[in-house]
Amino acid sequence: MKEKEVKVDCEEQQVVLFAEKDDNTYGPVQTGSYITRNYLEDFQLKQQHLEDNLLKKLIAGEISPLYFYMTLEDISISELAKRAGIRKSKAKKHLDPVHFIKATVSELKRYAGVFNIPLANLFQVIHTTQDGNWKSHFRETENGSMHGIEQHSTTNPVIVITTTTDKS
């Protein structure tokens, strides 16, 4: 591949590709990501649809919060169970809302840890907007100032403080 053929203008994601230079040598070329440049919107649209569909099912009680986050994060049940240190058969049951409510606080804390969210967010949906689209899950690590919402963990492992700021 020639250097000019791999060149993509994309500041959001830079990558290094190897290509044939003008002097016929092969070497690294820092450039933009082709897929991010051309298809990021499509990816985000699909993620939004997935999130909307999952949220409907979550609210209707068809899936558990665990299923919601696991599918959004694209983690398999085997991987989730391993990361949480919970038996796969048990974790599989927790995907069903009927069994999810029987999970212990300790188990739920471990699941929340895998998704890097406060425990409280397994029991609530915080609606935020991003680029005009509703987002139904709010991450502790996201930039609170954009939404006017911030979540801070506390010394108490089950308590998170959620603050809102009037952006007007």
Partner 1 sequence: MNAIHYNHKMAAHCETGTVAALLNHSGLNITEPMVFGIAGGIFFGYFKTAQFTFPTFIVRSKPGQIRKNIEKLMGVKIGSSRFKDPILAEAELDKLLEQGIPVAVQVDFFYMDYLPAWQRVHINVHFVTIIGKNGDKYMLSDIYYPKVVEIDKETLRKGRFAGGSMAPKGFMFYIESIPPIVDYEKAIRKGIRKAVFNMLKIPMPFLGVKGIEMFSRKVTDWPKYARDEEHLSHEIMKINVLLEDQGTGGAGFRFMFATFLRQASEILKDDKLFEMSKRMMAIGDGWREISLHAARIGKKRELGPEKLKELSDMIMNRAKAEKDFFTDLKKLV
Residues that bind partner 1 (CB under 8 A): 1, 6, 12-20, 25-28, 30, 33-36, 38-40, 42-44, 46-47, 49-50, 73-79, 82-85, 114, 116, 139, 141-142
Smallest separation (angstroms) from partner 1 to the CB of 156: 16
Region of 85 please: left (phi>0), alpha (psi -120 to 50) or beta: left
Output the smallest distance, CB 8 to partner 1, in A.
Answer: 10
CB of 30 to partner 1, least distance (A): 6
Q: Which residue, 74 or 166, has its beta carbon nearer to partner 1?
A: 74
- Distance CA(50)–CA(42), nearest Å, equals 12
Pairing of strands 133-135, 160-164: unpaired
Q: What is the CA radius of gyration of the chain?
A: 21
